[in-house]
Amino acid sequence: MADWPSGGGYELRWGAVTNGGSEGDVRTSSGGMRLSDNLGNSSFYTDSFMTDGTSYINRPGFRKVDWDERHPLTSVNDLGTDTLSSAPNFPISWGGADTTVEDGIGWGIRYYDVQYRREAHGTWEDWHIQTILTSDVFGPSAPETVHEDSTYYFRCRAYDLPGNVEPWPTTPDYQAWARYENQILEWVVVNQADSNDWTIEDTLTYGSTYTMESGDLFIVKNNGDVEIDMGLKGYPTTGWILRETAGVDRYAVRAVFDDNDDVPASFVMNDAVYDSGFTWATGTLFGPGGFGLQPSTADSTLRTENLWLQLHIPTDVSYWSEHQTIRLDLKAKPTTP
């Protein structure tokens, strides 16, 4: 046991052993060390720095020093289908690992630096400096105003716990990019009965299911000049909540997009409409259609989708009215590659 000396830190020197975690023959302590009990065995670890100037480590048993002189390996995550955005803001995330060639996992990442630039000829600007965040939204006005038809590039680097700093990427010198393209969508919904609703005029029975007939069908038509995907959102109604399945004071809605003139043979759980955010059609969700509606120059069958609905009545209710109106919102967004 030794107190921290008033004149500065200790210098430690040690030789490498096959199972001791060193990356070379002899090392001199130029930064913090991590100590553990029982050389070569499973043991307790602490990330305290021996050179932090405020504390010392006092633990019984044998000691080994895990040396980590390799910088972390990190990157900004690819934005995938959101690389082209119809909104002036991008959700950006980054991450990585602190690894060493010989010894596997290092001490871990302490901070990240994240930079951006506008266009390929732009100057790299700091967005986050020594942050512990691993995601943030870029735009619409911070850290700068996002401009239409502009491409933004992103890169990051990291510091590990002993202080090794990752270099910025060089070839290419960015890790992800995003572009804001403001697009005006134009689409319409028409009903076979020439109205904008589906009216059920029967006497409703608890726990029963009502499915659209051919004459009730909604038809979605893309009149714009960009390809679009469709999404749906439901809402609670008076005295009833919307859920996957019907129950007491609880109703359910199923929706299917397709190009068929006949009512779908079945509706499944993947066709359930939710009340938390818009659920976008994918081909697995909401039937085989509802995505990739071609622009107005395309053939009629490629730019339209049929929307079929099915209503599941609550099994019992504590609120009753002669008429009940259920709201569904239909939304479109540009299809991205």
At residue 254 the predicted structure's pLDDT band, cuts being 50, 70 and 90, is very high
Q: How many domains is the chain partitioned into structurally?
A: 3
Stronger pLDDT, 123 or 104, i.e. the higher one: 123
How do strand 241-242 and strand 250-258 relate by DSSP bridges?
A: parallel
pLDDT surpasses 60 at 5: no
Mean pLDDT within 38-54: 41
Residues 6+ positions from 323 with CB-CB distance below 8 Å: none
Same domain, 116 and 243: no
Residue 8: band (very low, low, confident or very high) from pLDDT cuts 50, 70, 90: low
Are 277 and 197 contained in the same domain? yes
The CA-based angle 77-78-79, given to 5 degrees, is 110
Binned at pLDDT 50, 70 and 90, residue 119 comes out as very high
Q: Which of 67, 86, 110 is the last residue of a domain?
A: 67
Mean pLDDT of 212-218: 89
Q: How large a percentage of the chain has pLDDT more than 70?
A: 75
**For the segment 79-112, what is each residue's pLDDT rounded down to a tens digit?**
876 788 878 899 999 999 887 655 567 778 999 9
* Residue 194 sits in the same domain as residue 149: no
- pLDDT tops 90 at residue 45: no
Beta strand 176-180 with 125-131: parallel, antiparallel or unpaired?
unpaired
* CATH number of domain containing 204: 2.60.40
Q: Answer yes or no: do 225 and 260 share one domain.
A: yes
Q: How many CB atoms lie within 10 A of CB 218?
A: 23
* Residue-level pLDDT at 11: 53
Q: What is the pLDDT of residue 48?
A: 47
d(C-alpha 199, C-alpha 205), whole Å:
15
Q: Are residues 158 and 233 in the same domain?
A: no
How many C-beta neighbours within 10 Å does residue 238 have?
11
If asked whether residues 26 and 90 sit together in one domain, one would say no
Q: Which of 9, 34, 67 is the last residue of a domain?
A: 67
Q: Residues 87, 46: one domain?
A: no
Find the domain containing 46 and state its range: 1-67
Both 203 and 235 in one domain: the answer is yes
Phi, psi (rounded to 5 degrees) for 192: -55, -35
Model confidence over 161-200: pLDDT tens digits? 878 899 999 989 999 999 988 777 788 887 766 666 788 8
Cβ contacts of residue 197 below 8 Å, gap of 6+? Answer: 191
325 lies in the same domain as 225: yes
Q: Given this model, what pLDDT does residue 70 score?
A: 80
Higher per-residue pLDDT: 298 or 125: 125
Single out the residue in 50, 67, 84 at which a domain terminates.
67
pLDDT above 50 for 303: yes
Shared domain check, 257 and 205: yes
| Token pair for 216 | 């009730």
Whether 16 and 133 map to the same domain: the answer is no
**CA torsion sign, 284 to 285 to 287 to 290?**
negative
Tell whether 259 and 211 lie within a shared domain.
yes
